[in-house]
A and B are shown apart, each in its own frame.
Chain A
Amino acid sequence: MSARQRIIATVLIVATAALAAACGSTHPGAGLAPATGQVTTSLPIATSLAGPGQPGWAVVPMGGSSKGHDSFWELFVRATSSDQWKAATPPGVASNGGLAVAGVGSGLVAGFQPSQDLTFSPLASIASPAAAWSEGNALVNPGLASVPGALAAGPDHQLLALTRTGEVLLSTSDGTSWTHLTTLQSLQRTAAGRSCGLTALTAVAFGTGGVPLVGGSCARPGTAGIFAAEREAAAGVVPSLSAGSASPVTVLCLTTQANRTVAQIQLGAGYSTRVLAAWLPNGASQWTVSAADATGGGPPRSLDIWADGSAALVLAGGKADTISAMGSSWRSLPELPAGTATLALGPAGQLQALVPSGATLTVWQLAPSGVGWDRLQQLKVTIPDGSSG
Chain B
Amino acid sequence: MPGMNSGLTDTNPTLVAAFRAALLHQGLIILVVLAVLAIAWVSLREWIPAARNGPASRNAVTALAAAEPAGRRLLRIGFGVLWLFDGILQAQPAMPAGMSAQVIEPGAASSPGWVQHLINWAGTTWSFHPLQAAPAAVWIQLGIGAWLIAAPPGRGARLAGLVSVGWGLVVWVFGESFGGIFSPGLSFLFGAPGAVLFYCVAGLLIALPDRAWQTPRLGRTVVAGLGLFFIGMAVLQAWPGRGFWQGVSHGQRGLIADMVNSMAAVPQPHFLSSALSAFESFDVAHGFAVNLVVVIALAAIGAGLLSGDARLRWPTLGVAAVLCLATWLLVQDLGFFGGVGTDPNSMLPILLLIAGGYLALQRPLFAAAESAAAEPAAATAAASAAATEPAPATEPAPAADPAPTRPAILRPAALAARFGSVSMRAVLAIWAAAIVLVGVGPMVAAQASSTADPIIAQAIDGDAAPLNFAAPGFTLTDQNGHAVSLASLHGKVVLLTFLDPVCTSDCPLIAQEFRHADQLLGASSAGVELVAIVANPVYRGVAYTRAFDSQEGMSGLRNWLFLTGPLPQLQQAWKDYSITAQTLPGGGMIAHNDVAYVIDARGRTRTELNFDPGPGTTSSMSSFAVELADAAQNVMRPA
- The interface residues of chain B lying within 8 Å CB-to-CB of A63 are 586
Task: Judge whether B250 and A17 touch: CB under 8 Å.
Answer: no
Q: Within 8 Å of chain A (Cβ to Cβ): is B20?
A: no
Q: Within 8 Å of chain A (Cβ to Cβ): is B83?
A: no
B553 to chain A, nearest CB (A): 11
Closest A residue, CB atoms, query B228: A13
Q: Compute how far the CA of A388 lies from the CA of B584 in the bound complex, rounded to whole angstroms.
A: 11
A41 to chain B, nearest CB (A): 21
- The interface residues of chain B lying within 8 Å CB-to-CB of A138 are 543
One of B250, B547, B588, B589 near A141 (C-beta < 8 A): B547
B510 to chain A, nearest CB (A): 11
Q: Within 8 Å of chain A (Cβ to Cβ): is B579?
A: no
- B-contacting 9-mer, from A19-27, A180-188, A343-351: A19-27
Complex interface residues of chain A between 120 and 142 (CB less than 8 A to chain B): 120, 122, 135-139, 141
A23 to chain B, nearest CB (A): 9
Task: Judge whether A384 and B241 touch: CB under 8 Å.
Answer: no
Task: Judge whether A91 and B252 touch: CB under 8 Å.
Answer: no
- B-contacting 9-mer, from A93-101, A159-167, A286-294: A93-101
Task: Judge whether B242 and A25 touch: CB under 8 Å.
Answer: yes
The residue among B239, B584, B587, B591 with the most chain A CB atoms within 10 A of its own CB is: B587
- The interface residues of chain A lying within 8 Å CB-to-CB of B587 are 72-74, 89, 93-96, 383-384
> How many residue pairs between the two chains, A and B, have CB atoms under 8 Å in the bound complex?
165
Task: Judge whether B505 and A116 touch: CB under 8 Å.
Answer: yes
Task: Judge whether A382 and B504 touch: CB under 8 Å.
Answer: no
Beyond A20-B236, A72-B587, A384-B586, whether A28 also contacts B505 by CB under 8 A is no
Q: Compute how far the CA of A21 lies from the CA of B538 in the bound complex, rounded to whole angstroms.
A: 58
Closest A residue, CB atoms, query B230: A13
Q: Compute how far the CA of A271 lies from the CA of B551 in the bound complex, rounded to whole angstroms.
A: 40
Q: Within 8 Å of chain B (Cβ to Cβ): is A192?
A: no
Task: Judge whether A91 and B242 touch: CB under 8 Å.
Answer: no
Q: Compute how far the CA of A39 lies from the CA of B258 in the bound complex, rounded to whole angstroms.
A: 35
- The interface residues of chain B lying within 8 Å CB-to-CB of A117 are 503-505, 508-509, 551
Q: Within 8 Å of chain B (Cβ to Cβ): is A233?
A: no
Q: Mark A28-47, 1 if CB is under 8 A from B, else 0.
A: 11000000000000000000
Q: Compute how far the CA of A122 lies from the CA of B539 in the bound complex, rounded to whole angstroms.
A: 8
Q: Within 8 Å of chain B (Cβ to Cβ): is A389?
A: yes
Q: Compute how far the CA of A63 lies from the CA of B536 in the bound complex, rounded to whole angstroms.
A: 23
- The interface residues of chain A lying within 8 Å CB-to-CB of B550 are 141
A384 to chain B, nearest CB (A): 3
B586 to chain A, nearest CB (A): 5
Complex interface residues of chain B between 229 and 253 (CB less than 8 A to chain A): 229, 231-236, 239, 241-243, 249-252
Q: Compute how far the CA of A17 lies from the CA of B186 in the bound complex, rounded to whole angstroms.
A: 10
Q: Compute how far the CA of A151 lies from the CA of B116 in the bound complex, rounded to whole angstroms.
A: 40
- The interface residues of chain A lying within 8 Å CB-to-CB of B224 are 1, 6, 9
Q: Compute how far the CA of A5 lies from the CA of B160 in the bound complex, rounded to whole angstroms.
A: 32
- The interface residues of chain B lying within 8 Å CB-to-CB of A89 are 585-587
Closest A residue, CB atoms, query B241: A25
Q: Compute how far the CA of A278 lies from the CA of B242 in the bound complex, rounded to whole angstroms.
A: 49
Task: Judge whether B232 and A388 touch: CB under 8 Å.
Answer: no
Q: Within 8 Å of chain B (Cβ to Cβ): is A66?
A: no
Task: Judge whether A10 and B228 touch: CB under 8 Å.
Answer: yes
Task: Judge whether A13 and B232 touch: CB under 8 Å.
Answer: yes
Q: Compute how far the CA of A135 lies from the CA of B228 in the bound complex, rounded to whole angstroms.
A: 72
Q: Mark B503-546, 1 if CB is under 8 A from A, else 0.
A: 11100110000000000000000000000000011110111100
Beyond A96-B587, A389-B505, whether A25 also contacts B184 by CB under 8 A is yes
Beyond A6-B224, A137-B543, A139-B547, whether A24 also contacts B589 by CB under 8 A is no
Beyond A28-B243, A122-B539, A387-B591, whether A94 also contacts B231 by CB under 8 A is no
The residue among A28, A136, A383 with the most chain B CB atoms within 10 A of its own CB is: A28
Q: Within 8 Å of chain A (Cβ to Cβ): is B625?
A: no
- The interface residues of chain B lying within 8 Å CB-to-CB of A383 are 586-587
B509 to chain A, nearest CB (A): 7
Q: Within 8 Å of chain B (Cβ to Cβ): is A333?
A: no
Q: Within 8 Å of chain A (Cβ to Cβ): is B306?
A: yes
Q: Compute how far the CA of A13 lies from the CA of B231 in the bound complex, rounded to whole angstroms.
A: 7
Task: Judge whether B588 and A384 touch: CB under 8 Å.
Answer: yes
Q: Compute how far the CA of A274 lies from the CA of B280 in the bound complex, rounded to whole angstroms.
A: 45
Interface residues on A, range: 35 or more
Q: Compute how far the CA of A14 lies from the CA of B236 in the bound complex, rounded to whole angstroms.
A: 8
Task: Judge whether A135 and B541 touch: CB under 8 Å.
Answer: yes
- The interface residues of chain B lying within 8 Å CB-to-CB of A115 are 504
Q: Within 8 Å of chain A (Cβ to Cβ): is B590?
A: yes
Q: Within 8 Å of chain B (Cβ to Cβ): is A246?
A: no
Closest A residue, CB atoms, query B217: A1
Q: Within 8 Å of chain A (Cβ to Cβ): is B502?
A: yes
Q: Within 8 Å of chain B (Cβ to Cβ): is A18?
A: yes
Q: Within 8 Å of chain B (Cβ to Cβ): is A381?
A: yes
Q: Compute how far the CA of A112 lies from the CA of B500 in the bound complex, rounded to whole angstroms.
A: 15
B187 to chain A, nearest CB (A): 10
Beyond A135-B539, A381-B586, whether A1 also contacts B243 by CB under 8 A is no
Q: Within 8 Å of chain B (Cβ to Cβ): is A366?
A: no
One of B231, B541, B585 near A10 (C-beta < 8 A): B231
- The interface residues of chain A lying within 8 Å CB-to-CB of B504 are 69, 93-94, 96-97, 115-118, 388
Task: Judge whether A92 and B242 touch: CB under 8 Å.
Answer: no
- The interface residues of chain A lying within 8 Å CB-to-CB of B588 are 72, 94, 384, 387-388
Task: Judge whether A6 and B306 touch: CB under 8 Å.
Answer: yes
Q: Within 8 Å of chain B (Cβ to Cβ): is A241?
A: no
Q: Mark B201-224, 1 if CB is under 8 A from A, else 0.
A: 000000000000000000011001
Task: Judge whether A137 and B544 touch: CB under 8 Å.
Answer: yes
Q: Compute how far the CA of A176 lies from the CA of B252 in the bound complex, rounded to whole angstroms.
A: 53
Q: Within 8 Å of chain A (Cβ to Cβ): is B559?
A: no
- The interface residues of chain B lying within 8 Å CB-to-CB of A69 are 504-505
Q: Within 8 Å of chain B (Cβ to Cβ): is A87?
A: yes
Task: Judge whether A384 and B584 touch: CB under 8 Å.
Answer: yes
Q: Within 8 Å of chain B (Cβ to Cβ): is A245?
A: no
Q: Compute how far the CA of A135 lies from the CA of B584 in the bound complex, rounded to whole angstroms.
A: 16
Task: Judge whether B505 and A122 touch: CB under 8 Å.
Answer: no
Q: Mark B166-189, 1 if CB is under 8 A from A, else 0.
A: 000000000000000111111000
Q: Within 8 Å of chain B (Cβ to Cβ): is A272?
A: no
Beyond A9-B228, A388-B505, whether A120 also contacts B547 by CB under 8 A is yes
17 A-B residue contacts at CB 8 Å? A1-B224, A10-B231, A17-B236, A18-B239, A21-B236, A28-B243, A29-B249, A62-B586, A92-B538, A94-B587, A94-B588, A112-B502, A117-B504, A118-B502, A381-B585, A384-B587, A388-B589
The interface of chain A, by Cβ under 8 A from chain B, is 1, 6, 9-10, 13-14, 16-18, 20-22, 24-29, 62-63, 69, 72-74, 87, 89, 91-97, 112, 115-120, 122, 135-139, 141, 176, 359, 381-384, 387-389
**19 more A-B contacts (CB under 8 A) besides A73-B587, A91-B585, A135-B539?**
A1-B224, A1-B308, A9-B224, A14-B235, A25-B239, A26-B185, A92-B590, A93-B502, A116-B505, A117-B504, A122-B539, A135-B538, A139-B543, A139-B544, A382-B586, A383-B587, A384-B584, A387-B589, A387-B591
